[in-house]
Amino acid sequence: MAQRNVRSALALALGVGMGIFAGRIGVLGAKLTQLMIYGRRLPLWRSPAELGMHAESVEFFAEDGVGLRGWFLRASGDASAPTIVFVHGWPWNRCGNLAGQLPIPDATVDFLEPAQALHAAGFHVLLFDLRNHGLSDAHPPVTFGLHEARDLQAAVAFLRTRGDVDSQRIGLIGYSMGANTVLYALPQIQPIRAAVLIQPVRIATFARNFAAANLGFVGPFLLQLSEPFYRAFGGPPLNAIDPTGAAALAGETTLLFIQGDGDPWGSIAEVRQMAEAAPRARPLVAVPSSDRYGGYQYVGEHSAEIIAYFREILG
């Protein structure tokens, strides 16, 4: 009888534990599905003024009417200058990413420090929020580069209306979804002479790895459940978001791909395939890392190399 009672107690404890586990995983899965569809309104957590830079608030519109907002940091001097555009990842904003605002382990990725370095080196800098992020308009769902490419097209068109911008000397820095955005937009925004692509992704691979890393062994199963909800809101099939084909259409743009070698969410082999598909690509930069965020830090930690790269190509 005592042994039976112990077994019953153990079964009850296991059942309660599994219920709590399933409940927590279910809530996290629901939050991540919401992020897939709606993005996130992460507040602007830094200001260029903190680093002694004057920022012009700018607004422009994508071809489908989505309002986009950002900062233009004008280089000193009267002559037109080259411009570098930062294109953020999911679910960040024009400042980058502030750790602790998401329901997953993350790290701070600051755009304003490398923007300041570029600005001091004589470049204009444009930082803006993609649709469904920051202060730009909502237009769900997030499409991880496909529709966001319209936002980058609008940003480049805006720059080319400015007399202080050399329209032939525009460079791009894209992170993750932003790197996908750059690749999808490039055929429509030429001439773009140089771009830095930090950890672009095939979304089916990223989503599968992301789900497994953050939701455990049930992650891939929950992903199968969440994708129909994503599709119901107008999202494309996840396996259709593969910028490798877009990389092959990059034309005369010189591309520099950067990827963490220990990134558990992405795939260095797939990023290497993107680089090999591009007509003009430098050797892939493999960043020693044990997580996704190690690769994201490269631009901030190697701003001198990034400045040299853009100076070499843009002049």
pLDDT in tens, 15-52: 333 333 344 555 776 788 888 899 888 889 999 999 99
Edge to edge, the sheet with strand 165-175 lists 56-61, 67-73, 124-128, 81-87, 165-175, 194-198, 254-260, 285-287
Question: 245-279 b/e with 16+ CB inside 10 Å = b?
Answer: ebbebbeebbbbbbbbeebebbbbebbbebbebbe
pTM for the model: 0.91
Return the pLDDT at 220: 85
Q: Which two tokens stand for residue 311?
A: 């100076």
Question: Which pLDDT score, from 0 to 100, does residue 78 have?
Answer: 63
Q: What is the dihedral of CA 289, 313, 75, 299, to 10 degrees?
A: 0
Instruction: Tell me the fold of 39-202+241-314.
Output: Rossmann fold (3.40.50)
Check residues 226 and 141 and name the one with the higher pLDDT.
Answer: 141
Of 2-6, 34-38, 64-68, 223-227, minimum mean pLDDT range: 2-6
pLDDT of residue 278: 98
Half-sphere exposure of 151 (CA within 13 A, CB side): 36
Least confident residue range of 75-79, 86-90, 94-98, 150-154: 75-79
Q: Where are the domains of the chain?
A: 39-202+241-314
CA distance 136 to 272: 32
* pLDDT bracket for residue 88 (50, 70, 90): very high
Per-residue DSSP letter, 51 = G
pLDDT digits (tens, 9 = 90+) for 263-313: 999 999 999 999 999 999 999 999 999 999 999 999 999 999 999 999 999
Q: Residue 209's pLDDT band (boundaries 50, 70, 90)?
A: very high
Q: What angle do CA 302, 304, 43 make, to 5 degrees?
A: 60
Report the Cα 123 to chain-centroid distance in Å: 22
Residue 230 has pLDDT above 70, yes or no: yes
